[in-house]
Amino acid sequence: MRLLYLTDNVYLHGGFEKILIQKVNYWAEVYGYDIVLGLTNQEGKPPFVPISEKVRVHDFGLEYPGESVFNPKNFGLFKQQYKKLKALIDEFKPDAIFVLTQRLFHIITPFAAGKIPTYFEYHTSYYGFELGNARLSFPQRAKNSIIDFAKQLAENRYTKIVYLNQAEFDHYKRKNSVIIPNFYNVIEKQSGENRKNIAISLGRLSFQKGYDLLIETWAKLDQKIENWEMHVYGNGENREALAEQLSKHDFKNPFHFFEATDVIDEKLSEASIYVMSSRFETFPMVLLEAMSHALPIVSFDCPTGPASISTNGKDGILVRPDDVSELANGLQKLIENPDLRREMGSAGEILVKRFSPQIVMKQWDDLIKTQVFKAKS
């Protein structure tokens, strides 16, 4: 089986980049499939996690000026990207093509693919699109509506649209859609016997991740607890704004922002609680990582991801979106109850196994084989 994956790049430190690389590696190493990973602009940077030598990486080398790939300055590149994609398809002759980007590949691939089965994977929540649009000016929203219309036309031509959870599936109500979650490759973890009084969070310092809300959550909690620390690991555009916000507080229980780390397992094994303050998510891989380390979860029940992974009251505590008082109460409850932390952490360690690669990748393989057989018959 020959499979072609298309996205922008895989050098950023994020759950999306990690699961994509793990997926293509799994196809190549376990199934023995011939895999090509096509990237718009890797810019010569190393991938976030290692890519198997059995996976061929093809960098299209297209750099788009401006913030948006759909900026008028980029229109001249559209034909160039289509031709480069068509040339790769003609040369590689894939049995199936997978698109994991909201940019130009999203629109052009089902047209360039001809009769080859194509799959578009939604890794961004519909609520994220709605929230982002609401923050734009009217001219920007008008431009986005045109782009969205083009995307809708393209999506009608995909063999399948793949959503990561039931809420996304229910929202879009597409006939050509299925639900397949991401997997998490559970490996042997450190024992966690040396846990410290640390609440931890990992993520990009962006509006989506809500670390401004987490600072205000800690402010409500600070005078009620003793000898705890909040550790946030990540990089992003909001670092300066968050540092300024943090400087206005004089916490007795320290709140630290650290650079993104490559030793995630080590940091999770030292912590006692995982906190997610996101405004929206689709399928937050970091929750699976935290649960595999037997960490109890405290999270906003934001649209649409946390509830598809964590079960409120069993392996964690989910509270109303953006409600910092409730998030603070949930954190306090776990801080004051070590037995509850252990109980929820143990439950999460068991529940995360339902997202094993063996289970999830078989769903993908069954889907692909059915569609490829139809295409060739």
| 372/252: higher pLDDT | 252
Fold entry, domain 2-183+356-376: Rossmann fold (3.40.50)
Q: How confident is the model at residue 87 (pLDDT cuts 50, 70, 90)?
A: very high
How far CA 10 is from CA of 39, 68, 83, in Å, comes to 8, 18, 22
pLDDT at residue number 74: 67
Q: How confident is the model at residue 24 (pLDDT cuts 50, 70, 90)?
A: very high
Judge whether 327 and 150 are in contact, CB under 8 Å: no
CATH of domain 198-355: 3.40.50.2000
Q: Do domains 2-183+356-376 and 198-355 have the same CATH topology?
A: yes
Q: Please report the sign of the dihedral spanned by the C-alpha atoms of residue 341, residue 345, residue 346, residue 351.
A: positive
DSSP three-state, residue 118: strand
d(CA 172, CA 168): 6
DSSP state string for 283-339: S-HHHHHHHHTT--EEEE--SBSGGGT--BTTTEEEE-TT-HHHHHHHHHHHHT-HH
- Token pair, residue 56, equals 């061929």
pLDDT at residue number 80: 86
Residues comprising the chain, all counted: 377
pLDDT at residue number 191: 53
d(CA 25, CA 126): 28
Least trusted range by pLDDT, from 71-85, 246-260, 304-318: 71-85
How many beta carbons lie within 10 A of that of residue 279, not counting itself? 20
Q: Name the range with the highest mean pLDDT among 72-76, 167-171, 256-260, 282-286.
A: 256-260
The residue-averaged pLDDT of 161-190 equals: 87
pLDDT at residue number 276: 98
pLDDT at residue number 135: 78
Judge whether 273 and 341 are in contact, CB under 8 Å: yes
Report the number of secondary-structure helices (H) and strands (E) in the chain: 13, 13
Give the tens place of pLDDT for each residue, 352-374. Answer: 999 999 999 999 999 999 888 77
Q: What is the pTM of this model?
A: 0.87
**Identity of the amino acid at 79:** K
Q: Domain limits of the chain?
A: 2-183+356-376, 198-355
Least trusted range by pLDDT, from 26-35, 75-84, 134-143, 197-206: 134-143
State what percent of residues in the chain have pLDDT above 90.
Answer: 71
State what percent of residues in the chain have pLDDT above 70.
Answer: 94
pLDDT at residue number 318: 98
DSSP three-state, residue 164: coil
pLDDT(125) > 60: yes
d(CA 82, CA 238): 34
Specify which residues 2 forms β-bridges with. 34
pLDDT(188) > 80: no
Judge whether 30 and 52 are in contact, CB under 8 Å: no
Least trusted range by pLDDT, from 34-43, 73-82, 318-327: 73-82
